[in-house]
Amino acid sequence: MSSTHSGNGWMVWLTFAIGLLLSVSPLPQFMEILRPLWLALLLAFWALALPHKVGMVTAWCLGLAEDVLYGTLLGQNALILTLITFLVLSLQQRLRMFPMWQQCLVILVIFGLAQLVQLWLSALTGNRQPTLALVLPALVSALLWPWVSFGLRGLRLRFKIN
Amino acid sequence: MGVRLLVLTVLSVALMVVDARFTLLKPVRSQMSLVLMESYWITDLPQRLWQGVASQFGSRTELVAENEKLKTENLLLQGRMQKLAALTEQNVRLRELLNSSALVNEKVEVAELIGMDPNPFTHRIIINKGERDGVVLGQPVLDARGLMGQVVELMPYTSRVLLLTDTTHSIPVQVNRNGLRAIASGTGNPERLELRHVADTADIKEGDLLVSSGLGQRFPAGYPVATVKEVIHDSGQPFAIVRAVPTAALNRSRYLLLVFSDNRTPEERANDAAVAQEAEDRQNGESTATPVAPATAPGTTPAPAPAATTPAPTPATAPAATPATQAPATQPARPAAKPPVSTPAAAPATRGARE
């Protein structure tokens, strides 16, 4: 498998592009608050699966793209995504061994921490979000994790991405 | 790995500080947005396609009904516009009498909504007109029923608009009925604005229309902003609690109007008007006023003030005094105020569109 060095790396970038689209896709009003952290989910999966290819620099670049899309200060989401990738990478050996429900829990904690940092950063930049409802996306993301990782694993096996 | 995290964190923080304090990164951001903003367009595509398909297969009866409706609406608006032309004329004349600077006619351009900000705690939208279309920072945005917000971020072909109801937004308003001034702040609820620091005894009541007062020098004066929904007098509170509903359909409008107003300050505008008036005055003076000049000179010196305040006491002094004291005000003002008079077609068109 690892003998072919082409490795279909573009598929990874395609998923990131789709993640960017999903992160700005219009949702009904009541679901806006539950929007999953698509980019963070994708980054977590690829960082676990291909740690030699997707790392913190990738996360940082994607974060910058997200900043431009959201109109936040350049570097804000970059910092968050870098942090998430760092935590996932440092827990990588254990996370790979965990059963799915434990992975979900770890993802919940990591994303929750990241959302808290997000809260602090947006408070510093002047638009404080009024509630702790911003932990909800972390919860939704954690619930989506099994499906995302299952789907992406299928994709990876199918296209032999490595 | 830790080193990399540290470097990237420091880099991010540095970027954030630079982006918040300086304009150094604006070109970078605008170049990146050139590519990235397409994703809003792409995510909007299904709806566009659906609309296209729906309009292709719209049934004939529906189209006929819509046509009928539009025709009646057009008739109504045309009727209103006729009246508006007369009113505009009258307004200009009255302003001439008051010797105030003429009403500025604003130019508008239609923009289309292409995306909402994904953050549910901010009320911002993305429109399909940007820097290359002449949009400027702080430009007011309307829909057919009232003010919606202002442009806060410019990108080459798109721009971000902060809506009135965002928690970080406030707009100076005036009660249309009596001119009471207030500041309407956003609450984060798309159907509610709050008037801050309104005295408990202020004359404001349910159903009052709030229009923009133009005092912040950002929004043009006279556009409807909100209608007062409830006024709560709580004796425990230092101020009355006034809640209003925005007249614009902030979360429903798809087509918006960008207002291109005169971006000169009132002082500059008054200055320009004065200069124009003087030039006109000189022209008129050279061509027609040569025989009048010797007659007015002795007439004005004894009693200019009574002649100006009470124009009817003596018919002999009045015509002699008025050209000298009021000359720059009444006669040359008409040619100076010509632009607004000569373009009434533009003004009712814009006004009519929002009603």
Query: Greater confidence, A38 or B338?
Result: A38
Neighbour-count burial of B69, counting CB atoms closer than 10 A to its CB (0-12 exposed, 13-18 middle, 19+ buried)? exposed
- B307 pLDDT more than 60: no
User: Are B118 and A23 within 8 A, CB to CB?
Assistant: yes
Overall average pLDDT of the B285-299 stretch: 50
Q: Say yes or no for a CB contact (<8 Å) between B153 and A78.
A: no
Q: Is the dihedral of CA A104, A110, A114, A115 positive or negative?
A: positive
CA distances to B72, B205, B217, B225, B320 from B311, rounded to whole Å, are: 49, 41, 37, 41, 11
Question: Which residue in chain B has the smallest CA separation from A75?
Answer: B12
Whole-number pLDDT of residue B296: 42
Across the interface, do A21 and B116 touch by the CB < 8 Å criterion?
no
Considering only A150-154, B59-63, B211-215, which range has the smallest mean pLDDT? B59-63
Q: DSSP alpha helices (H): ranges in A50-126?
A: 56-70, 76-90, 92-97, 100-124
Closest CA to B127 of B259, B261, B255, B34: B255
Residue range B21-41, pLDDT digits in tens: 888 888 888 888 888 888 888
CA-CA distance, B10 to B8, in Å (whole number)? 5
- Confidence band (pLDDT; 50, 70, 90) for B276? confident
Residue B322 has pLDDT above 50, yes or no: no
- Asked if A56 and B8 come within 8 Å (Cβ–Cβ), the reply is yes
Does the pLDDT value for residue B299 go beyond 50? no
Q: Which residues in chain B touch residue A125, judged by CB atoms under 8 angstroms apart?
A: 16, 20
Nearest CA in chain B to A58: B8
Among B5, B20, B120, whose Cβ lies nearest the Cβ of A125?
Answer: B20
Contacts of B119 in chain A (CB under 8 A): 70
Query: What is residue B267's predicted lDDT score, i.e. its pLDDT?
Result: 67
Which amino acid is residue A127, in one-letter code?
Answer: N
Question: Residue range B227-231: average pLDDT?
Answer: 93
- The better pLDDT of the pair B187, A162 is held by B187
Q: Are B164 and B171 in contact (CB under 8 A)?
A: yes
pLDDT given for residue B334 in this prediction:
43
Rounded distance, CA A46 to CA B331, Å?
A: 78
How many Cβ atoms sit within 10 Å of the Cβ of residue B171? Answer: 24
B101 falls in which pLDDT band (50, 70, 90)? low
Query: What percentage of chain A carries pLDDT values higher than 90?
Result: 44
* Distance of alpha carbon B194 from alpha carbon B298, whole angstroms: 60
Q: Which residues of A touch B12 (CB under 8 A)?
A: 60, 63, 75-76, 78-79, 82
pLDDT at B321: 41
> Which chain B residue lies closest to A128 (C-alpha atoms)?
B121
How far is CA A135 from its chain centroid? 15
Cα Rg of chain A, angstroms: 16
Residue B112's beta-bridge partner residues? B255
Least confident stretch, A98-107, A151-160, B296-305: B296-305
Residue B261 — pLDDT band, cuts 50, 70, 90?
Answer: low
**What are the chain B neighbours of A74 within 8 Å (beta carbons)?**
15-16, 18-19, 25, 28-29
Instruction: Give the mutation candidate from B121, B163, B187 for the A interface (greatest A CB count, under 10 A).
Output: B121
Question: How does pLDDT run across A1-48, given as a tens digit for each residue?
Answer: 444 455 677 888 999 999 999 988 888 778 888 888 999 999 999 999
For chain B, the C-alpha Rg in angstroms (whole number) is 27
DSSP A127: -
Predicted pLDDT of residue B301: 41
Rounded distance between C-alpha atoms, residue A53 and residue B52, angstroms: 42
Q: Would you say residue A88 has pLDDT above 60? A: yes
Q: What is the pLDDT of residue B43?
A: 86
Lowest mean per-residue pLDDT among A34-38, B14-18, B301-305: B301-305
Tell me, what's the pLDDT at B185?
93
Residue pLDDT, tens place only, B176-198: 999 899 999 998 888 999 998 99
Q: Is the pLDDT of residue B100 over 70?
A: no
Residue B186, chain A, CB below 8 Å: the answer is: no
B228: pLDDT strictly greater than 90: yes
Contact B11 A35 (CB under 8 A): no
- Across chain B, mean pLDDT equals 77
* B23 phi and psi angles, rounded to 5 deg: -100, 15
Confidence (pLDDT) at A6: 57
Query: Which tokens in the block code for residue B276?
Result: 């124009």
- Of the candidates B50, B253, B120, which has an alpha carbon nearest to the alpha carbon of residue A28? B120
Nearest to A149 by CA among A77, A69, A82, A95: A95
A143-152: b (≥16 Cβ within 10 Å) or e: ebbeebbeeb
- Does the pLDDT at position A60 exceed 90? yes
Secondary structure (DSSP) of B99-164: TPPPPPPPEEEEEEEEEE-S-TTS-EEEES--GGGT--TT-EEE-SSSEEEEEEEE-SS-EEEEET
Q: State how beta strands B240-246 and B181-186 pair.
A: unpaired
Whether residue A82 and residue B1 make contact (CB cut-off 8 A), yes or no, is no
Q: Of A52-61, A137-146, B99-108, which gets the smallest average pLDDT?
A: B99-108
Q: How many CB atoms lie within 10 A of CB B46?
A: 11
Q: What is the pTM for the complete model shown?
A: 0.71
Q: Check residue B265 and give its pLDDT.
A: 58
In the prediction, which pLDDT does B350 show?
40
B335 has pLDDT over 50: no
Two tokens, residue B105: 């006619």
pLDDT for A68 beyond 70: yes
